[in-house]
């Protein structure tokens, strides 16, 4: 696993709220199957996701990783996402790709988590993984 694979920081784990873990598992399954689980999304977020991520756009995703959620008062969770994908290229065979993103979920009265905002850097999925030099974690700017 390349060192850059750790750019999300701590990953969501067993300490994550069980209901939130179920929602993340459904989102992961949807991303891997290239069929987003729109029932997990709020109406507005689902409408936007249908436009931004049309059928076929998410093909080839093999792995989804979620950062440990930052949960704010009022039941709002912000979660970094990293996906890994494999896609076949006609001229050069199969290549690996990665992209990062963000999901914001809110907790409703029934203790269910709904996706209110979802984004993936689709432009990154057009650039094969790799780097021209050695990855230096100390030269990576810290983002808050």
Q: Parse the chain into domains and list their residue ranges.
A: 11-126
pTM for the whole structure: 0.80
pLDDT mean over 80-97? 78
Q: Which CATH architecture describes the domain 11-126?
A: Roll (3.10)
Task: Give the number of C-alpha atoms closer than 13 A to the C-alpha of residue 30, restricted to the C-beta side.
Answer: 20
23 in helix, strand or coil? helix
The more confidently predicted of residues 122 and 3 is 122
Percentage of residues of the chain with pLDDT beyond 90 = 46
Across 2-132, the runs of DSSP E, i.e. the strands, are 61-66, 70-72, 76-89, 93-107, 113-120
Mean pLDDT (the chain, rounded): 83
| pLDDT reported for residue 54 | 84
The more confidently predicted of residues 144 and 19 is 19
CB-based contacts of 109: which residues, under 8 Å, 6+ apart? Answer: none
Tell me which range, 76-80, 92-96, 124-128, 131-135, is most confidently predicted by mean pLDDT: 76-80
C-beta atoms surrounding 83 within 10 Å: 23
Strand-strand pairing, 113-120 and 76-89:
unpaired
Percentage of residues of the chain with pLDDT beyond 70 = 78
């Amino acid at each position: 696993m390349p060192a850059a694979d750790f750019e999300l920081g701590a990953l969501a784990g067993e300490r994550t709220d069980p209901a939130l873990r179920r929602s993340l598992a459904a989102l992961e399954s949807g991303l891997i199957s290239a069929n987003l689980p729109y029932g997990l999304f709020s109406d507005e977020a689902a409408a936007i996701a249908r436009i931004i991520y049309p059928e076929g756009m998410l093909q080839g995703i093999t792995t989804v990783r979620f950062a440990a959620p930052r949960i704010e008062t009022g039941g709002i969770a912000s979660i970094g996402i990293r996906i890994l994908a494999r896609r076949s290229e006609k001229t050069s065979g199969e290549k690996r790709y990665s992209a990062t993103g963000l999901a914001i979920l809110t907790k409703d009265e029934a203790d269910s988590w709904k996706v209110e905002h979802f984004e993936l850097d689709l432009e990154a999925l057009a650039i094969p993984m790799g780097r021209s030099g050695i990855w230096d974690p100390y030269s990576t700017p810290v983002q808050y």
